[in-house]
Structure formats: structure tokens, C-alpha cells
Structure 1
Amino acid sequence: MCAALTQSQILEALQGLDGWGIEDAKLLKVYKLRDFKAALAFINQVGAEAERLDHHPEIHNSWNRVSLRLCTHDAGGQITEKDLTLARAIQSISHP
């Protein structure tokens, strides 16, 4: 089980994660893609990374927008290093 990060650890890590923030005690990023087809392709890429890391985000899609929320359920829904690792992996995915 991963330990929850402190607020200062999270804020420091967010400096290296473009566009990510905190909402309702979860990491959050909203991507705006070209269209629905591009959004679905991006979601599939996120899913592949989530499976590779065995850590799965909350995903919401509305046409060309994809919202991702990350927290660690095993840590009581708090933010852990697993969330930061997944956020970094997602950030490395190129999208149109």
C-alpha cells in the first residue's frame, strides 16, 4: 500500500505536471482534443498506461473533452506517488 503524500509534496510535484491541479482531494486534468474520435483514442492510450502501471483513473468524456481524476483507493482516496507516476505517464502521451 502506498502512503498518502503531504500537501507540500503534492504541490511540489504539480510544478512539473503541466495543467494538473487538485480538486476534491484528487489530481485533476482536463484535456480538450480535436473531436470525439481523438478523445476516444486518447482515452485508449490512457487506459493502456493505466493497465501497465496497474493504477486506474476516473475518466469522464464529453465529446472532445476528457477529464481525468487520480487518487489511490488503497490509501483511503488520497493522493500517493502512484497517482503522480500515472499523471507523468499520461502527460507523456502525445495527443492531437
Structure 2
Amino acid sequence: MNSMWQEKENRLNRSFQFTDFKEAFAFMTKVALVAEKLDHHPHWINEYNKVDIFLSTHSAGNVVTDKDRELARLIDTLYKP
């Protein structure tokens, strides 16, 4: 997994930076499609050109599982700074 992901407080998190809101939103759309295929949805925050993503598995007691690590890996493949 990309070293940019940090595991703390029982979740993986990473911040992504973009040129503008349009790029950030396009990235979120791509992530949403992948997350839907995995039936594993992130908690995220978007403010203008920044997207913060937090991953944990609710059904496992809100801890980091292999599902989170796999989604993080796939998200990394979508990020083209």
C-alpha cells in the first residue's frame, strides 16, 4: 500500500490535492464507482481542491480490514497528481 496512507484511530486516511474543484470532484466520482463495485464506501471530506478519505469497515466494528486496504490500493491507482 502507498506510504501516503496513514493508519490511526482504527482507520486509514489520506489527503489528496488537486488543481481545482473540478479535478477533485472528478476524482471523487471515479472513487465512488470503484467503491460501489466493492460495496465498500469511504467517509470523505471535500473542500475546493482537497479530498480527505477515511476508510474503516463498519461491519467489522469500525476497524481497518483487508477491504479497506484493497480500496486504498485502488484509490491510489486513480490518483494522477
Judged with a 3 Å threshold, the aligned counterparts in structure 2 of structure 1 residues 71 and 31 are, in CA distance, closer, same or farther, namely same
TM-score by length of 1: 0.79
CA RMSD of aligned residues (A): 1.1
State the distance in 2 between where 1:32 and 1:82 align: 24
Larger displacement relative to structure 2 (47-56 or 16-25)? 16-25
Which residue of structure 2 aligns with residue 95 of structure 1?
Answer: 80
Q: Aligned residue pairs: how many?
A: 81
Contact 1:33 1:95 in 2 (8 A): no
1:9-88 aligned within 5 A: 16-88=1-73
**Identity level (%):** 40
TM-score by length of 2: 0.93
State the distance in 2 between where 1:23 and 1:63 align: 25
Amino acid at match of 1:77: N
State the distance in 2 between where 1:18 and 1:34 align: 22
State the distance in 2 between where 1:36 and 1:80 align: 30
Classify the secondary structure of the residue corresponding to 2:78.
coil
Larger Rg: 1
Cα offset, 1:37, TM superposition: 0.5
Deviations for 1:64-88, whole angstroms, at most 9, x for unmatched residues?
0000000000000001000001000
Q: More strand by proportion, 1 or 2?
A: 2
State the distance in 1 between where 2:38 and 2:63 align: 18
